[in-house]
Structure 1
């Protein structure tokens, strides 16, 4: 593999993705900014609607050529912008599913003028009909009572009864609470359970997943745990440090290669010529790092998925 694989580059993905050859990525899995005003250390989540959608279309047009012919894409979105972004993607890819992630938010609080929003929307898209998809890797086992109830002769020897059922397009997985063992210092971190399901289903063993918005690095961590390769980008240097720490944990050992010499860091600092990333590094306070910094354009970003 080349030197861009198993790396997270601390730089703007819109420029950084140029280092990835076209047709080299098995899966794009990403959680871009939702444009809901969250603080990621810059103004990436605080754009006008028109600017946000134009920026989204730019990164999509840069990222999609990186996919292999049988590649796929998963994208986390908010219901507020999913319709517009789905239309963008449907002009370029084939949509297979709209997946609803039920975050298991407790029944308290919320708006008194509308129904409480407790889900994220996930789009699953593919390039062509023979896309890679391993259903058996993500089947959910039946419990003993269900198997016993299916004891009639028509069920004997049925593969699906032994290996489990196909996950539906409603995924009920708890969001990561502050006390959760997975939780790190990132406002929109996605659970490993969800990211690993996507990787198992849509990225072959030793395949490469691209995440343009790494955030806390969940995509990279999941890929390493499952024997996949990864490449990603993250603008915020504090989040890059979080990714470095997570990938250094014993549960995520670096995959050794024959003839490999000194182990390289999986997180690569921004190049000296990257003005936006360089400006971000000069600040020290995460909460106020890039506010008011006129060197940072509205289309810079950093988020979870900016993880998964």
Structure 2
């Protein structure tokens, strides 16, 4: 197998991630950091199942009036049909389509950080474990802002004219608690050199974590990350993450000049973070409009690297 093109610093690749991963040599990559689709129908690229329903991508009357943040959500799980209940399994199968390729291209002992939605993260874990990965930890990214809409049950009854029920259920709500964190799943590929991770570090340069570097981003060496957006950051992608958040993960589990892979690159945040930290990168994105945005970001923020 021919090695993937490896420019001076890195590249943004337009294409399907599975096809592009096939071009990579085995044990070629030192770290994967990727904000994968969550499978919750947040946008057309996030619909990863084969059934449709009246609440998909904002097609129900209630969602039409819900505003941009909420109109793309699917039906609440307590209203799922039997077909809807297959969505979690289909998400797991979707992850399984590429998880084995992630495992193949990573060096032994290397890490993969996966942003996964709270609802289906367990399905992602199962698929990754089936591919050979071990779940090392689940980190929590504490979001600086979290949109929240939970309907007051008392108001539902009040609009029906049922004042007795409205008074009885005062303080109760329909919906979820405010989503203030997102899971970051930390997977590792089992190591094969010697008997310890120390041996693996000598041979492959991965396996341990850089606590000193991580402390520059977080006050404590803990698995809750409180890293917000820089001024003016955001607006390039619906699920865009802070550059410093990606930098913290990259520094935690890789070294300068090592290769960082993002198979779901979006607007290129992982690529920017990797380049700023003197890592080589391969960022794969199938949407041509986001590829253009990612390349423009690198041209504007890192002109000497392109």
What TM-score comes out, normalization by structure 1 length?
Answer: 0.68
Kindly report which structure 2 residues correspond to 1:115-134, keeping only aligned pairs within 5 A, or say none: 115-127=177-189, 128=191, 130=197, 131-134=207-210
The alpha-carbon deviation at position 175 of structure 1 amounts to 5.7
Q: Which has the larger radius of gyration?
A: 2
Distance 1:46 1:223 in 2: 28
Kindly report which structure 2 residues correspond to 1:73-112, keeping only aligned pairs within 5 A, or say none: 73-91=112-130, 92-105=132-145, 109-110=149-150, 112=173
2:273 match? 222
Structure 2 unmatched ranges of 5 or more: 50-86, 152-172, 198-206
Secondary structure at the counterpart of residue 74 of structure 1 = strand
The alpha-carbon deviation at position 183 of structure 1 amounts to 1.6
Distance 2:234 2:222 in 1: 26
Distance 1:2 1:78 in 2: 30
Is the CA contact 1:140–1:167 (under 8 Å) kept in the aligned structure 2?
Answer: no
Distance 1:244 1:38 in 2: 24
1:195 match? 246
1:136 to 184, 197, 212: 212
Is the CA contact 1:17–1:62 (under 8 Å) kept in the aligned structure 2?
Answer: yes
Is the CA contact 1:208–1:228 (under 8 Å) kept in the aligned structure 2?
Answer: yes
The alpha-carbon deviation at position 138 of structure 1 amounts to 1.4
1:252 to 2:302 alignment: yes
Distance 2:33 2:17 in 1: 14
Distance 1:182 1:20 in 2: 32
Q: Which has the higher contact order (CA 8 A, sep 6+)?
A: 1
Kindly report which structure 2 residues correspond to 1:9-158, keeping only aligned pairs within 5 A, or say none: 9-39=13-43, 42-47=44-49, 48-91=87-130, 92-105=132-145, 109-110=149-150, 112-113=173-174, 114-127=176-189, 128=191, 130=197, 131-140=207-216
Kindly report which structure 2 residues correspond to 1:171-190, keeping only aligned pairs within 5 A, or say none: 171-174=225-228, 180-190=231-241
Which of the pair is proportionally richer in helix? Answer: 2
Distance 1:59 1:203 in 2: 22
Is the CA contact 1:214–1:234 (under 8 Å) kept in the aligned structure 2?
Answer: yes
Is the CA contact 2:260–2:282 (under 8 Å) kept in the aligned structure 1?
Answer: yes
The alpha-carbon deviation at position 2 of structure 1 amounts to 5.7
Return closer, same or farther for 1:82/1:140 CA change in 2, 3 Å cut-off: same
Distance 1:29 1:59 in 2: 14
Distance 1:137 1:209 in 2: 17
The alpha-carbon deviation at position 223 of structure 1 amounts to 0.7
Q: Count residues in correspondence.
A: 228
Is the CA contact 2:14–2:284 (under 8 Å) kept in the aligned structure 1?
Answer: yes
Aligned CA RMSD, in angstroms, stands at 2.4
Distance 1:51 1:243 in 2: 29
Structure 1 unmatched ranges of 5 or more: 142-163, 256-265, 267-308
Kindly provide the CA deviation profile for residues 65-120 of structure 1, in whole angstroms up to 9, marking residues without a partner as x: 10011311100011101112223333422322210111133686445323222211
Return closer, same or farther for 1:107/1:71 CA change in 2, 3 Å cut-off: closer
Secondary structure at the counterpart of residue 125 of structure 2 = helix
